[in-house]
Amino acid sequence: MAPSHFGNYFEMVFADIATFGKAPTAPAISLADAEIAVFGIPWDYTATLRPGARLGPRGIREQSIWFHEIWNPGSTPLIGYGPPRKRLRDRVKMMDCGDVTIWPGDIMKTSASIRAAAAEAAKHAFTIMLGGDHYVMFPTYQGVCDAHPGKRVGIIQIDAHNDLVDNDAVYGTHWSGTPIRRSLEHSGLDPRGLYQIGLRGFIGAVERQFQIDNSVTVVGIPELRARGISEVVDTAVATVLQHCDVIYLTCDIDSVDPSSAPGCSTPVPGGLRGEEFADLLRAFGRHKEIIAIDVVEVAPPLDPTHQTTLLAAHSLFGFIEERFLLAQD
């Protein structure tokens, strides 16, 4: 086989394996030198409305190839439009660990597999998880906690739904409506270490009472726009850090309005604009206390235009650029 074009700015992005951002592949166990570890969870068996999120990791990877020059440029320096920003460096060591092994008929076995993979990745590097329905955030969060013993892992959630259900009469305790509740139980985190952004629509009275009783901060879309993204992000991080040491950022694509992200499992009108979602992730990228991020509920079969997967990839690379490559003011 001819030599690979990897590392060449002029690489044909449509060629070869569509890893995340055209990153080299590596099993999680060999990540000693990596700064970023990416893995996918092709699972949507605990989604409640529309299937398709099992193809989210593949879809996001396919669109992410267009952004490979952000983290691994060639000889031509990159600059962006807008106010000039000092670049600390041009490259970051990122590896794609592939997809976690799942068992479609066994949620507990799959959860254990996810937890082990997430722990191995988080032990070595900043962790990016590509979902998958939102349930998979819970075992991923468990793995991140395992990788950081003795540290309290707070949660910032960008979502249309609260995902605080305890036990549903139909779906039970382990499905896409329960990952935040299960995560709080697992870690024993003070619920004030949970900050929810973008919630809208209807909410169960029990879950709303849980938020009130436990002083969970909820910022809706109107408040976000009135206060501004930077102020909300900075306040969210500061608030959560009063009750934790590090932060897990979980991002459900249904936080975005269906007009900007039609390919999601449970769409809710009145959401973020696409650029607002991207700006949120970029703003969170300025905070070093965040040690892991996910983007979940992306369902490519529901969006033949690829608009949703492109937005997910674009937003993640905005986070990566802020976190690893740009100097902070």
Alpha helices per DSSP H over the chain: 56-64, 68-71, 107-124, 137-147, 179-187, 205-213, 221-227, 229-240, 274-284, 307-320
SS (H, E, C) 64-97: HHHHHHHHCCCCCCCCCCCCCCCECCCCCCEEEE
- Does 303 carry a binding-site annotation? no
Q: Is the dihedral of CA 178, 307, 271, 68 positive or negative?
A: positive
- Nearest Cα to 266, choosing from 295, 304, 294, 302? 302
- Does 245 carry a binding-site annotation? no
SS (H, E, C) 107-125: HHHHHHHHHHHHHHHHHHC
d(C-alpha 40, C-alpha 34), whole Å: 17
- Does 190 carry a binding-site annotation? no
- Nearest Cα to 264, choosing from 45, 18, 55? 55
d(C-alpha 46, C-alpha 163), whole Å: 13
d(C-alpha 211, C-alpha 162), whole Å: 9
- Does 329 carry a binding-site annotation? no
Known binding residues for Mn(2+): 134, 159, 161, 163, 252, 254
Known binding residues: 134, 159, 161, 163, 252, 254
